[in-house]
Amino acid sequence: MEKTRISKLMAERGLCSRREADSYIERGWVRVDGVVVAELGSKAYPDQQITLERPALQRQTARVTILLNKPVGYVSAQAEKGYRPAVSLIQAASRYRGDRAPLRFDPSHLRGLAPAGRLDIDSQGLLVLTQDGRVARQLIGDDSEVDKEYLVRVQGRIASDGLALLNHGLELDGKPLRRAQVEWLNRDQLRFVLHEGKKRQIRRMCELVGLKVVGLKRVRMGKVALGDLPQGQWRYLRKGERFA
């Protein structure tokens, strides 16, 4: 059995991101089998116990995750081509009045807040922004098992085997896609449930079977649904609320 960098093991176990792990190690907030580790690049065996000191746990507890109903016209991450980033909508005035989280909005909640998964500029719906590397890894890590649900309005005439191909059998960028769940809700709307998130995946999938997407809305990520959150408004992820 070979040793692995402790920061990598911590990320794989969902304790934090690798960047956060390095920060905690530098501060002496990480123990391996009860022994404090303070040297970056230190390694451990995969079966060793890794624990965090109280300051690291407190720092994680203070980090927020925000759910936003992103409108069309906003980009998920950095501003581009004159368009505003979705994070600019996170203001005290745009907080959902029905938010039951006990937190009071503070400008520090915007520090390091980043989208966990893209949502195209011409798409709307649930966008998760978080300060917590554990949440980001759970949603967009290579081994993520969190599914995402979308409502998709389309135009055009679908190929005879198009629905079957949308469920399984298409390739993008030379690689086969994971099995999806796709069904008609009415004559011009499809419901997609995906287990991956390639760039503009649904639009490209639809094009391959003769359809054009004219409206796309993400309504769920794992166990967290958009619900009645109004467009352009946001709320905090509540304590005890989990994506998986």
Confirm if 75 and 220 have CB atoms less than 8 A apart.
Answer: no
Give the span between the Cα atoms of 6 and 37, in whole angstroms. 9
Confirm if 105 and 95 have CB atoms less than 8 A apart.
Answer: yes
- By annotation, the residues acting in catalysis are 120
Encoded tokens for 82 = 């004159």
Encoded tokens for 194 = 């995906």
For residue 130, give the nearest of 179, 69, 83, 87 by alpha carbon.
87
Q: Which residues lie closer than 8 Å to 157 by C-beta, 6 or more apart?
A: 210, 211
